[in-house]
Amino acid sequence: MQQPIQEKERQAILAKRQEILNKINAAKQQQIQTNKNSFQYDSIDAQNNNVKLLQNDDLSNIISRESKNYDLLSQIRQAYEFDDERSQFKNKQLRFQDYIENNTAQSTTILDRSSNNNSRHSYLQKISNQFGPKQFKPKRDKSISKLELNASDSPSRNITVEKSLKESKVKILNQFNQRLETKETQKTQKIEKLKKEIEDQEKLTCTFKPAINENTKMRESLEDISNQNPYDRLSQDAMIRRFKEEKLRRDIDQERLKECSFKPITNESKSFKKSRSQANFKQIQENKENYNTIQQKHYTYNQEKLREIQDKPKINKKSQVIAENKVDLSQPVYQRLYSQADEKIQRMVNLTYDQRQQSQVEPSTNTHLDVAQQNFMAELENREKFRNFLERQQQFEQNKLQNLENALKETQRHKDYTYEPEINQTSRAIVEQYYQNDDNVYSRLYNKPSTTINFTQLNQDLTEFMPQINYTSKVIAAQRDCLKELTQADGKSINQKQQEYLEYKLKDCTFQPKINQNYQVLSGLEEVIEDSKQFHLKRDQWQHQQQAEKTYQEMKQCTFVPHINSQQRWNDDPHVEVKGLERFFELKDLQRRQQAEQDMRIKQVFKDGSTFGNSLSTTPIQPQLQTSKRAIERKEASRY
């Protein structure tokens, strides 16, 4: 709408200018005609002189009039230019305000809009070519200062004002939103409080307790288990099971110890360790029970406090201390363990110091001090080992970080490479065919194992032959541990290779040093173990032979021989062979030896009387082998 208004104003100014020019031309023609008519009847000399004078006067009048007209034109032009500049500036300011309202982020486009002034300059240049350059500027009102004019006309002030207004609006809106959120939270908290109070009142009124069926109880317990976290549930079950097993073991040990009346004289250090371990175990159990009760009390107390809290939580001092002493999971494990070890050693130092002070008062307790000193020295050695472990752990982490930094540097180096080789069209087509999207890659990798499984199932379906397996062999196969056999086979092959490598190295070694007798005894332990194994084998064989001879001598005295029918059926098979007995007895013997070795190891490790964990051993079950009636008849017939 603004452009057609400007065109109308320009056309009106041009029409006014044309009217002024027409008036000036008409006035010039009238003056020339009047001058000609007035001086027709004068003499030639006077006429020439007068004409020159008149011409000079007329020319001066014409020049003065033209200059006045020119001044009018210049005033019109200047007025038009001033109006044009003001209108364009206003239009520009309005456009700038609209632009800021639509896009606040693009406020720097004022400089880009300076290209719109080219049309105005081109039009003014045409006027200056026709009527000459601009002669003077419009007079400024001296009552208004230049700073006020610039401040009123400058667009930058409007921008800053608008920015400040918008920022204030945003702040007000944020504050309003925060107030609304706080009110909503308070409202929801009040509603929840009221609901809980109503439920508690209803529960107090409800005194009737219906008798529930056992099946429904089981369902409810199963629902509770399903809602519970499986990790927590399994850990609780394992803890309960271990506690029960330990309790049963203690009861069994106590019953056995009642029968044992003999009490050997033991070393004071060992007895001190045992009593200390038992006391520690009891103390740990008591601390655990106390901790559980305290934790339950804290939980109930915190729930009651949470009901009363509305705006700000009030934390108890005891809970603050517990939270501070709680294990910080953000701290690395090795640092936490190292700090615990330092605290333990500090405690031991204080304990030894106290014991030494007591020993000065009571000299009879020197044996206990020696034991404590030995324990302290052993813990110091363990601390040095642990410190070495920490150093290795830190070095491992440093190497890991260094590898990551090297990998990042390599990736950045690859990014700097600008060379791109030209690839053949066939290879591109192959790549596009197989690697169009990541989904295809995922489906290809995911479906690959399923295809292999399908192939194996097809092969199994195609195979028609299905062997029949005996019941005894099935039982023996179920008792076998295939994984253990495979791992032992791998270990045997590794040991064999190591032994061959040592023998190959020892061929070059010809020097044989003289060894002390004590060292010979210590070095010959392996030979002693092998000799003991062979001795046990020979003893078992001799026992079997003696038992067989004893049974044979007992059966010699039996002289009665019954008469059995000699008729045989056409489908009887006199030879009956029971398969799997030899393998069964071998496995049973092997299991007995493994159990004996395991018991020996447990005794060596747990010398203090502490028990081992869940030691579940699978013993092979003897197959129930019964001869049929036909086989008995065939045996009796074969005797005759």
Q: Which two tokens stand for residue 591?
A: 């299991």
Distance CA 436, CA 431 (A): 7
> Which of 368, 364, 363 lies closest to 352, judged by CA?
368
Decide if 84 contacts 120 (C-beta within 8 A). yes
pLDDT tier at 51 (50, 70, 90 boundaries)? very low
Task: For residue 337, give Cα distances in angstroms to 323, 387, 426, 457, 496.
Answer: 19, 10, 61, 52, 40
Residue ranges in 206-267 assigned as alpha helix (H): 214-227, 230-259
The predicted structure's pLDDT at residue 56: 47
Q: Is 280 exposed, middle or buried (0-12, 13-18, 19+ CB in 10 A)?
A: exposed
Mean pLDDT of 385-402: 79
- pLDDT tens across 366-381, in order? 454 456 566 666 666 6
Checking phi first, is residue 580 left (phi over 0); if not, alpha (psi -120 to 50) or beta? left
Distance CA 611, CA 256 (A): 15
Q: Which two tokens stand for residue 365?
A: 């307790």
Spatial CB neighbours of 573, under 8 Å, sequence gap ≥ 6: 634
Highest mean pLDDT range out of 7-16, 151-160, 392-401, 533-542?
A: 533-542
DSSP 8-class letter at 228: S
Domain regions of the chain by residue span = 2-139, 219-257, 327-416, 428-458
DSSP 8-class letter at 110: G
Question: What interhelical angle do 581-605 and 471-479 show, nearest 10?
Answer: 20
Distance CA 83, CA 6 (A): 10
DSSP 8-class letter at 144: S
Half-sphere exposure of 501 (CA within 13 A, CB side): 6
**Single-letter code of the amino acid located at 334:** Y
More confident residue, 132 or 294: 294
Decide if 369 contacts 268 (C-beta within 8 A). no
Q: Which two tokens stand for residue 241?
A: 């099971």
pLDDT tier at 633 (50, 70, 90 boundaries)? confident
pLDDT of 144 > 70? The answer is: no
The predicted structure's pLDDT at residue 365: 45
Decide if 588 contacts 620 (C-beta within 8 A). yes
- pLDDT tens across 268-286, in order? 555 555 555 566 667 777 8
- pLDDT tens across 415-465, in order? 766 667 777 777 777 777 665 555 555 566 666 666 665 656 666 666 666
- Mean pLDDT, the chain, rounded, equals 68
- pLDDT tens across 522-561, in order? 555 677 778 888 888 888 889 888 888 888 888 777 777 6
Distance CA 349, CA 346 (A): 5
Distance CA 73, CA 128 (A): 11
Highest mean pLDDT range out of 82-91, 417-426, 622-631?
A: 417-426
Q: Is 550 exposed, middle or buried (0-12, 13-18, 19+ CB in 10 A)?
A: exposed
Decide if 620 contacts 584 (C-beta within 8 A). yes
Distance of CA 217 to the CA centre of its chain: 40
pLDDT of 615 > 50? The answer is: no
H or E element, residue 129: helix 118-131
Q: Which two tokens stand for residue 40?
A: 């027709």
pLDDT tier at 145 (50, 70, 90 boundaries)? low
Decide if 138 contacts 82 (C-beta within 8 A). yes
pLDDT tier at 400 (50, 70, 90 boundaries)? confident
Highest mean pLDDT range out of 70-74, 252-256, 587-591?
A: 587-591
Mean pLDDT of 490-513: 76
The predicted structure's pLDDT at residue 158: 46
Cα–Cα–Cα angle for 635, 639, 640, nearest 5°?
125
Spatial CB neighbours of 564, under 8 Å, sequence gap ≥ 6: 633, 636, 637, 639, 640
Decide if 307 contacts 193 (C-beta within 8 A). yes
DSSP 8-class letter at 621: P
